Structure 1
Amino acid sequence: MNVLRNKFKVYLEKINYVEDPVEAAKTMVSSIQRLVGIRNLFGNKKRNFTILSIFATVLFGGTFIYVGTFSQIVYLYQVFPDKSESFKALNCISATSVPLSKYFFMFLSRDRLRNIFELSHQGVISIPEGSAAKKKMLSTLQRARYASWLVVANQAFTHIFYLLMPLIFTIFGNDRYLPTTPGDSYGLSPKYETPFYEITFVVTCVATAFSAINQTGYIVLFITLLTHELGHFYAITETLNEIYDMLKNKEQKKDDPEQTEEANIHEKLIFCVKHHQFLMHYHKYIRELYKVVFGAHFLMMTIVLVTTLQTMNEWDVRNTILTGVTGIMPLFLYCFGGELLISAGLEMSAAAYTCGWELMEPKQAKIVLLMLCLSQRPLYLTAADIFVMNRETFGDVAQVVYKIYAVFN
């Protein structure tokens, strides 16, 4: 039994070993986005388009726009000003606008992503090999890979379940069911009659695949970039904790420290300062990358949540849960990720304050003081430079959504 356990452990270590975690993350995201026609995601000098990529873009993107946006705008025009049906159409339009905006974000960000991932390479390489900081960084990036595969599995399960349930109800029930969209798909009416039902179901499956694939790539990219920032914070914190241990041991000896030990402390302190400088520069690029799309998503997801509450008593439970999760999960992801970033900065600040600066030479203590001053303004992500991504913002949005719901009712 122990032999099998050891072999399984060795196998897991083998498949999880990644020589270059940055390139591994790029390969994973690129492989996902190629499925919806986005090539050269990171601005490499390759052909931007192929016949296959153009076909995938037209097939997936065009079908998604036709089913999720165009048809629902036509339906909204037909049912307006009916309050109930109008809210259903608005709910679907706003919910489908989120994955569509993610597609355009991924398509138009190649130059910025190229610069960011070049910095990511520099950041990982700048950490000394064999150090505790390097091990912490690599373990953090490894956890990001686990989280990324979890996202892939979650997105696949959720969207397959979304398509499978109507099919099961149709096979074993007396009526025909479709994945939930209000009204008819434009030009395919009546949609529950043959052959319209079969065509509508196939078209909806293609559109759902586009949503699942594109959102998966977007979330994996966000997790990767966020984890790089967190990893750099943790690397600095780990080094500061090492400095504390070295100074504590020096104080307990109560004799003149060895020259090599003093030089080692100074070297680690300089690394912390230089790496914090790099982190501030790196964070500026990521914040600029996401602030516009975060702002757009905040508006869209607020509309999704408001319209979901408005149609709660008039639409089936399946749709309410689906659209509610569509609105809540991305918002929760942004705010939870932003909260982790702020917490990592506070943890680094606490490590700097408790690193034993009072036992250092005056020049070294001044360096720690400089880091403490800079860390008083934590690094954070924003939506359009208005809302800070943290748990307070998540709670505030929930309150605003409920107030809007109360006004309409």
Structure 2
Amino acid sequence: MILKQIKNYFYKIVKNDDDPIEAAKNMVNSIQIFVGIHNMFGDANRKMTPLSLLGALVFAGSFVYVGTISQTVYLINVFPDKIECFKAMNCLSSTCIPLSKYIFMWLSSERLKKILDMSRQGLKIIPDESAAKKKMLTTLRKGRYVSFLVIINQATSHIFYLVLPLLFTIFGNSRYLPSTPGEIFGLSGKYESPFYQISFILTSIATGFSAINQTGYIVLFVSLLSHELGHFYAITETLNYIYKILNGEETFERDDVKQKIIEDKLKLCIKHHQFIMIYHERIKNLYKSVFGAHFLMMTLVLVTTLQTMNAWDISNTLLTGVTGIMPLFIYCFGGELLLIAESRMSTAVYSSGWELMNPRQAKMVLIMLILSQEPLYLTASDIFIMNRETFGDVAQIIYKIYAVFN
């Protein structure tokens, strides 16, 4: 009975095309509620409860204690030992990433509410039962599929991170902890009973916090990106339909009806493109600061991971590597998809058959063509553009830094 309810819940989230905005909100809220963020989108009917506040204090408090505080103290104690410093810096930078995401999620509810209200308005722009609307809904559904893959990835990597040292402890001769290179502050004998059990519990809670919060953050990004991509695809679909009309693939008994449909579709495309420009600016401003901070921290994570690869256990190396690479890859890959979608829309504008239109319609196409020449892209602090070239450049920089230290 319980498994059936869980199955129906996830099926509703994935297939909910009647209200994809609510589906996205439910997915993110259902993740973030476990770390105490009860109201991600500024809903008036969702209030902070004592239980959610307690969850925030327990999860976030354990994470800050095990990660940030303990690793800062350890870094000071082991300085200037090169390898141990790199280990401490690796843990410290790895904890700063989910912590910054947590702060971002707490502070963004009002801005997210406005963005999702705009998303709802954008869906209303697209006519029902049109090919553009079907394309939009298909894109949103694919975004939800990707979100589930993110959830599976995060759950698998963090469970592996916790289970592996536990197995080493049970079947080996020594005790292992799934995280910190040095002592947890205040628990000097962390491998001795009862300190080992306390340390393991605290580390498990901190790891759970990291996994849940980062998963919710990435799912939110994927959801917003899929909405923006869907709007580009919808405009491209409408322009392709105009091309079919002008080339005789769609026939009409009267020419005035044909011209009226073409003009209405062009007006819709212009209105839709205006919406995207405003919508994109809101998302860009929402993420540019946190992207900039993450670029710096993730670069540090990957550099220190390479430095400690031969001196640390494999579970920690794998988790920090995944923690550093996957968000960076998603940011850059998502930004690249956005640039590609806009490029295809621009091509569809030029290829819409403007040479067969009357002067009024051709001028409307010209307006869209001019506006689409200014690309819409995501940035890290208005310095780096999120695309595949940036991902490659960061990989090269990380290797160069690694080579310098070795």
Query: What is the TM-score with the length of structure 2 in the denominator?
Result: 0.94
Query: Does the CA contact (< 8 Å) of 1:40 and 1:46 recur in 2?
Result: no
Query: Does the CA contact (< 8 Å) of 1:305 and 1:328 recur in 2?
Result: yes
Quote the residue 1:127 is aligned against.
126
Quote the residue 1:20 is aligned against.
19
> For this pair of structures, how many residues does the alignment match?
397
Quote the residue 2:172 is aligned against.
173
Does 2:138 correspond to 1:139? yes
Distance 1:197 1:226 in 2: 43
Q: Which amino acid aligns with 2:322?
A: V
Q: Which amino acid aligns with 1:384?
A: S
Does 2:399 correspond to 1:393? no
How far residue 12 of structure 1 moved from its aligned partner, in angstroms, is 7.1
Distance 2:259 2:156 in 1: 55
Distance 2:381 2:12 in 1: 42
Look up the SS of the partner of 2:53 in the other structure: helix
Q: Which runs of 5+ in 2 are unaligned?
A: 1-9
Distance 1:177 1:271 in 2: 62
Quote the residue 2:296 is aligned against.
299
How far residue 317 of structure 1 moved from its aligned partner, in angstroms, is 2.7
Does 2:369 correspond to 1:372? yes
Look up the SS of the partner of 2:282 in the other structure: helix
Distance 2:303 2:55 in 1: 33
Query: Does the CA contact (< 8 Å) of 2:93 and 2:297 recur in 1?
Result: yes
Q: Which amino acid aligns with 1:375?
A: S
Distance 1:158 1:321 in 2: 8
How far residue 258 of structure 1 moved from its aligned partner, in angstroms, is 2.4
Does 2:325 correspond to 1:328? yes
Distance 2:17 2:200 in 1: 41
Does 2:221 correspond to 1:222? yes
Distance 1:307 1:371 in 2: 47
Query: Does the CA contact (< 8 Å) of 1:230 and 1:341 recur in 2?
Result: yes
- Which of 310, 331, 341 is residue 313 of structure 1 equivalent to? 310
- Which of 351, 358, 362 is residue 359 of structure 2 equivalent to? 362
Task: Find runs of 4+ consecutive structure 1 residues off by over 6 angstroms.
Answer: 11-15
Quote the residue 2:105 is aligned against.
106
**Residues 1:301 and 1:262: Cα distance change in structure 2 (over 3 Å):** same
Quote the residue 1:5 is aligned against.
none
CA RMSD between the two structures? 1.8
How far residue 400 of structure 1 moved from its aligned partner, in angstroms, is 1.1
Q: Which runs of 5+ in 1 are unaligned?
A: 1-10
Look up the SS of the partner of 1:129 in the other structure: coil
Quote the residue 1:348 is aligned against.
345
Distance 1:321 1:278 in 2: 42
Look up the SS of the partner of 2:43 in the other structure: coil
Distance 2:14 2:356 in 1: 45
Percent identity, aligned pairs only, is: 64
Q: Which amino acid aligns with 1:217?
A: G
Quote the residue 1:67 is aligned against.
66
Distance 1:207 1:190 in 2: 19
1:31-89 CA-to-partner distances (Å, cap 9, x unmatched) read 21111111221112246422111100110000000011110000001001111101110
Distance 2:37 2:84 in 1: 35
Deviates more, 1:180-189 or 1:120-129: 180-189
Query: Does the CA contact (< 8 Å) of 2:102 and 2:213 recur in 1?
Result: yes
Query: What is the TM-score with the length of structure 1 in the denominator?
Result: 0.94
**Residues 1:382 and 1:312: Cα distance change in structure 2 (over 3 Å):** same
